[in-house]
Every structure is written in structure tokens, then in C-alpha cells.
Chains A and B, each alone.
Chain A
Amino acid sequence: DIQMTQSPSSLSASVGDRVTITCRASQSINNYLNWYQQKPGKAPNLLIYAASSLQSGVPSRFSGSGSGTDFTLTISSLQPEDFATYYCQHCYGTPPGTFGQGTKVEVK
């Protein structure tokens, strides 16, 4: 099974900061990588699919990059509503892939 490892597990940041979260796959997954945002008590929300494609309705301050085993989610200018937990998930093969353990973005 492909394992997904995110780093860091948590980070503290301020409004306006540039935030970067990393996700590493245990083997190459090309660009079959999704990113989700989850706020406390809420369902996850899709941000990015195919490593870098922005889901409709998601603000352009979110971006994704990477291919192979190393991927990055970047928030260009952190907004108050962005404090949340972020998960990567691979979609390489069938069935749906494992999620990373999550990265919690907290207020500094």
C-alpha cells in the first residue's frame, strides 16, 4: 500500500503569511494527488485535484504543485478562514487512496 506522509503535523502562522505544507508518497504516484481542507466539526472540502488543479469555487490563494513522490500545498496569503486541518490523498489506482495524517494550521 502507498503511504502518504505530511509535514509538518502542525504549524503556527499569522494572517497574511505564506504557508507551505508538504506531502510525500512512499512510491511514485505521478500527479494523482488531492488536497482537502477540514474545519472543526465539518466535513472535508476539496481544494486541489490532480496535484495542481484548483477546484471550482476555491480561492486562488491556494495552489498545489509536485509530481512523483513530493507535493506541496501553498496558501499565498493566509486568511482568517484558512485556519483548519489540511489532508493530502493519493488517487493512484483503485480503490481510493489513503490520506495523509493531516496538517493543522493554527493561529500564531
Chain B
Amino acid sequence: EVQLVESGGGLIQPGGSLRLSCTASGFTVSANYMNWVRQAPGKGLEWVSIFYSGGATYYADSVRGRFTISRDSSKNTLYLHMNSLRAEDTAVYYCARESVAGPDGEYYYMDVWGKGTTVTVSS
């Protein structure tokens, strides 16, 4: 069964650090495009970061310089290293696989999502 399971969330003080994990089963993390998407309480979805299968990474402006995405092929796991955390980083963090479709592979969509892990930044 294709599945993603996030872990590592919790309560952290402003300025602190946290590492989120996302372990995949049924497919290979390193062969796919993998995203982190977050949702603040009562708010909409916000894309955070992506790790492309070829190794390129991108970040939303709101987290660039503070968050780092990485992966461990031996563990089939995606990570999000979060530093200098702020109250506005409080959210449920989802990891999601991005798949490709179309004759030229031009369509991208997130077709497998984890259940999410909650990060609360508060003193």
C-alpha cells in the first residue's frame, strides 16, 4: 500500500528547532518529487518546500533560510529541518508525493498525502 507517515511535531518555543520526518511505504522517496505543505489553524493550504528526484530543492519565501528539506534513501524518508521557529510557523505539516502526467510530463499534482504532524510554536 502506498502510504506516507509524518512524525516529529510538537510544542516548541519561539527560536527553537525541530525536525519533521516523513516515511514512505509502497514507493521510493528518492525516485519521486516530495513536498511539504502546511496548514495553520483555521487557514488554507500553504506549500512549504519540495525535493525533486534529481536533487533540486525549493522553498517558500516564508521559510527560506530557516527550513531545510532533505531525504535519506536508506530509510526511504523525507525530512524538514526547521530552525528559528516563529509563532506563525504553527501548523499541521503534511508531506505529499507529487506525480507527473501528460505526454511531456507537464502536469504535476500531489496524489499521496500523509495524515500530518502538528507543530505548535509558543512560549
Contact = CB atoms under 8 A, between A and B. Distances in A.
Nearest to B57: A95
Contact of B47 (A49, A98, A102): A98
Interface string A59-100: 000000000000000000000000000010101001111111
A91 B114 contact: no
A55 B116 CA distance: 22
Interface stretch (B11-19, B78-86, B94-102): B94-102
Contacts of B114: 43
Given A53-B101, A99-B47, A34 B116 contact: no
B46 interface: yes
| A interface secondary structure, majority | loop
Contacts of B50: 95-96
Contacts of B94: 43-44
Interface residues of B, number: 23
Contacts, number: 63
A26 interface: no
Given A43-B94, A49-B107, A87 B44 contact: yes
Contacts of A22: none
A87 B45 contact: yes
Interface of B: 35, 37, 44-47, 50, 58, 94, 96, 98, 101-102, 106-111, 113-116
Interface of A: 32, 34, 36, 38, 42-46, 49-50, 53, 55, 87, 89, 91, 94-102
Given A36-B45, A38-B45, A101-B44, 8 more contacts: A32-B106, A43-B94, A43-B115, A46-B110, A46-B111, A50-B102, A98-B47, A100-B44
